[in-house]
């Protein structure tokens, strides 16, 4: 049983990575325009979401 304890930090780290990437995506404005993201995929230009301004 104790031999598998090394799995625990791995599991928690994986969760933490998922949490961090969610936070990053939230901060970089990827949820600001969900409807727009759905149709922008049909546009040809490369584009990136607008960063919320840091006032």
Partner 1 sequence: MSCCTLGAGLPAESDNLALDEEVRLASRLIGRDTYQTDLSVPDIHCGACIQTIEKALSRLEGVEQARVNLSTKRVSIRWRDATQPPALIETLRGLGYKCHLDDPDLEEKDGTSSELLRALAVSGFASSNIMLLSVSIWSGADSETRDLFHWLSAFIALPALAYSGRVFFRSAWESLRHGRTNMDVPISIGVLLAFGMSLYDTVHHGHHAYFDASISLLFFLLIGRTLDHMMREKARVAVKGLARLSARGALVVQDDGSRLYLPVAEIQPDMTIWLSAGERVPVDARVEEGSSDIDVSLVSGEGAPQAVSTGSVLQAGTLNLTGPLTITALAAAKDSFLAEMVRLMEAAESGRMGYRRVADRAASLYAPVVHLAGFLSFVGWMIATGDVHRAVTIAVAVLIITCPCALGLAVPMVQVVAARRLFENGIMVKDGSAMERLAEIDAVVFDKTGTLTSGHATLANSHEIDPGYLAIAAAMATRSRHPYSRALAAACDTPVPIRRIDELPGLGVEALVGDATYRLGRREWAVSESDQDAIRDNLGTVLSKDGALLAAFRFDDTLRAGAREAVASLRELGLPMEIVSGDRYAAVERTAADLRISDLRAGVLPGDKTRRVAELTQAGRRVLMVGDGLNDAPALTAAHASMAPGSAADIGRNAADFVFLRDGLEAVPLAIGISRQARLLVRQNFGLAIAYNAVALPVAILGYVTPLVAAFAMSLSSILVVANALRLKGDTKRAHDSRRNIAGVMTIASEGNA
CA–CA separation, 20 and 26 (whole Å): 10
Query: Judged by CB under 8 A, does residue 24 bind partner 1?
Result: no
User: Minimum Å distance from CB 6 to partner 1?
Assistant: 13
Query: Judged by CB under 8 A, does residue 16 bind partner 1?
Result: yes
Residue bearing tokens 């840091």: 54
| Secondary structure letter of residue 25 according to DSSP | H
CA–CA separation, 2 and 17 (whole Å): 25
What are the residues binding partner 1 (CB under 8 A)? 1-2, 8, 11-12, 15-16, 18-19, 22-23, 26, 31-36, 39-40, 42-43, 45, 50, 52-53, 55
């Amino acid at each position: 049983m104790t031999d598998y304890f090394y799995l625990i930090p791995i599991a928690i780290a994986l969760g933490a990575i998922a949490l961090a990437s969610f936070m990053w995506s939230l901060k970089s404005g990827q949820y600001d325009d969900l409807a727009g993201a759905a149709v922008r995929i049909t546009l040809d230009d490369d584009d990136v979401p607008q960063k919320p301004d840091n006032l």
